[in-house]
Structure 1
Amino acid sequence: MLQFKVDTEKCIKCEQCAKDCLWGVIEMDEYPVIPAERESSCIECQHCLAVCPTAALSILGKDPEQSLPLKDAFPTPESMERLIMGRRSTRRYKKEGVDPKLIHHLLEITSHAPTAVNQRNTVLTLIDDPVAMDRFRKEVTEAALQVAREGKIPPELKRMEKYLEGCAKGYDIIFRNAPHLLVASAPPDTYSPQADCHIAMSYFELLANSHGIGTVWNGIFRVVATGLVPEIGAKLGIPEDHQIVCAMSFGLPDVKYHRTVQRPGGTIRRAEV
């Protein structure tokens, strides 16, 4: 089932694969092996493939030579710090869309974001066509305004009235005129649906910003889709057994920021243990 194979000519018997196996699925005989009774415990994380120093190990039919080498591959601490501090919530976008091939490439990379117990149940639903986005923007805005006109906004969401007042005046408060939308969803019975979706979206945001793409966490749309117009999920084709956790609008920014901001440090305390 796991297609676990070891090239004995390359294997140096370092035992790193067995030591790094989370559930102890791999054991050492003369060479690493997975007993048949342990196969069902494998969570398919591929740590064994990644940790093998000689590319001797294959699992799930993966060729280790097709994986990217990690030597000297990570950004410097300084460049990573600047990316984290320099990303801004973008609310001004150019009308043109981002190259669909680039978007899908970014999403392929984002699929490497970690999930609890490697369940990988997060689904990212994308609108990559600016024309379709304009159509969706109009439909969602009108549906939300209709809820407001009928006085059906729940008391706990009364703050939405202020945003929808702007929409009624012709401002795109919900989507900020962004040409694209990304929605993260997951089944509620997943081990950690909220964290899984937010981690994936955070990965996408930083990766998109590194390519010069602007992003904004779209909490207003999430509230509209989950609290005002729940049929939006079906409109997007989000699986019925999923909950919408978060959303992000993105596109080519029509604004350029030249420096980081200077925020006070967060509340940090040393645990007394």
Structure 2
Amino acid sequence: MIDFMVDREKCTQCGQCVGDCPSRIIVMDGEGYPAIAPEKEPFCLRCEHCLAICPAGAISILGYRPEESLPLAGGYPDPLQLETLIKGRRSVRRYKPENLDAALMQKLLDVAWHAPTGVNSRQVRFTVLDDRTKVARLRDEVMEGLMRLDREGKLPAAKAYYAKFVKIWEKHKVDLVFRDAPHLVIASAPKSLSTPKEDCLIALATFELYAQACGVGTLWNGIASWAIDEMLPDIRRSLAIPDDHLFGYAMLFGKPAVRYARTVQHRPALIHRVP
């Protein structure tokens, strides 16, 4: 059941929900109010376009009510603010040795959960290390595993450079894999989905931009991702990432110990305009 409900006292019978429904399953009933026939409910994409577009706030669906949503009018950043956020985003490799506030961390994840997914599947799973001691424990496990592979000559040829990370850690205890970050999030999704990799990357991109807006630093961590997913499968299992999930990517995050003053500049975008 999708629990499609119309408050007839608010509904103006404008028909916008009918015109915007991607599945075309909303119709005006005999009295001129929007309705969905029971046999059409399985075709609902659960996108909530109907709830979002109704100017009168008359439509509820899936147990969600319009009064619990944020109004869009006046709520968007202006273009320059958004441009500054995008251009000012930096990969942070220096973190303060403290945990984020638990409420802020939950907010980051809740907002990232709103990222778009293929056919609105909404099955991206966040595996989160929410305490710096957990990241330190994972770091030790990963480093121990990499040291073993290096000793046994089992580092993949394409990943031979990991030996440098191992040696620096052994000699100086300098962490070039997890960067002493207090937190880590891994996005994964069922391999059976139409776009599991894309869903994970979009979710993390959303997480990153909102994190930056909240003063939280982030780092896309390919080094940790490849180590956990490709070279040390026992650690992937210890993190309880489902076997049927595609490992999307890992991202470090926490309070940054560095502050950037301005955006950077790049050469013009590579653009091909189709004639």
Residue from 190, 193, 215 that aligns with 2:193: 190
Equivalents in 2 of 1:166, 1:206: separation in Å?
32
Q: Structure 1 stretch 4-13 or stretch 150-159: which is displaced more? A: 150-159
Alpha carbons 2:141, 2:235 under 8 Å: kept = no
1:5 aligns with 5
Alpha carbons 2:221, 2:249 under 8 Å: kept = yes
Equivalents in 2 of 1:123, 1:112: separation in Å?
12
Question: 1:216-235 maps to which residues of 2 (within 5 A)?
Answer: 216-235=219-238
What is the CA distance between 1:167 and its match in structure 2? Answer: 2.9
Question: Structure 2: which amino acid aligns with 1:136?
Answer: L
**Unaligned stretches of 5+ residues in structure 2:** none
1:100 aligns with 102
What is the CA distance between 1:128 and its match in structure 2? Answer: 0.8
- Kindly provide the CA deviation profile for residues 169-209 of structure 1, in whole angstroms up to 9, marking residues without a partner as x: 32211101101001010111111111110111011111111
Question: Structure 2: which amino acid aligns with 1:167?
Answer: W
Equivalents in 1 of 2:9, 2:101: separation in Å?
44
Alpha carbons 2:150, 2:163 under 8 Å: kept = yes
Equivalents in 2 of 1:253, 1:7: separation in Å?
47
Question: 1:64-213 maps to which residues of 2 (within 5 A)?
Answer: 64-169=66-171, 170-213=173-216
Equivalents in 1 of 2:120, 2:84: separation in Å?
30
Measured on the aligned residues, the alpha-carbon RMSD in Å equals 1.2
Equivalents in 1 of 2:202, 2:128: separation in Å?
17
Question: Structure 1: which amino acid aligns with 2:186?
Answer: V
What is the CA distance between 1:135 and its match in structure 2? Answer: 1.4
What is the CA distance between 1:122 and its match in structure 2? Answer: 0.5
2:256 aligns with 253
Counting aligned pairs with the same residue, the percent is 46
2:38 aligns with 36
Structure-2-length-normalised TM-score: 0.95
1:263 aligns with 266
What is the CA distance between 1:108 and its match in structure 2? Answer: 0.8
Alpha carbons 2:129, 2:184 under 8 Å: kept = yes
What is the CA distance between 1:106 and its match in structure 2? Answer: 1.1
What is the CA distance between 1:156 and its match in structure 2? Answer: 3.0
- Kindly provide the CA deviation profile for residues 69-120 of structure 1, in whole angstroms up to 9, marking residues without a partner as x: 1111000100100011111101111111111221011111111111011101
Question: Structure 1: which amino acid aligns with 2:25?
Answer: V
Question: Structure 1: which amino acid aligns with 2:138?
Answer: F
Equivalents in 2 of 1:232, 1:185: separation in Å?
15
Equivalents in 2 of 1:195, 1:46: separation in Å?
21
Q: Structure 1 stretch 161-170 or stretch 227-236: which is displaced more? A: 161-170
Equivalents in 2 of 1:61, 1:245: separation in Å?
30
Question: Structure 2: which amino acid aligns with 1:48?
Answer: C
Equivalents in 2 of 1:134, 1:154: separation in Å?
25
3-state SS of paired residue (1:231): helix
The count of aligned residue pairs is: 272
3-state SS of paired residue (1:145): helix
- Kindly provide the CA deviation profile for residues 212-250 of structure 1, in whole angstroms up to 9, marking residues without a partner as x: 111110000011012210122211121221121101011
Equivalents in 1 of 2:150, 2:248: separation in Å?
23
**Dislocated runs of 4+, deviation >4 Å:** none
What is the CA distance between 1:68 and its match in structure 2? Answer: 1.1
Alpha carbons 2:116, 2:199 under 8 Å: kept = yes
Q: Structure 1 stretch 217-226 or stretch 6-15: which is displaced more? A: 6-15
Alpha carbons 2:127, 2:239 under 8 Å: kept = yes
- Kindly provide the CA deviation profile for residues 3-35 of structure 1, in whole angstroms up to 9, marking residues without a partner as x: 111111111111111111111111122211111
2:238 aligned with 1:244: no
**Unaligned stretches of 5+ residues in structure 1:** none
Question: Structure 1: which amino acid aligns with 2:166?
Answer: L
Equivalents in 2 of 1:159, 1:167: separation in Å?
13
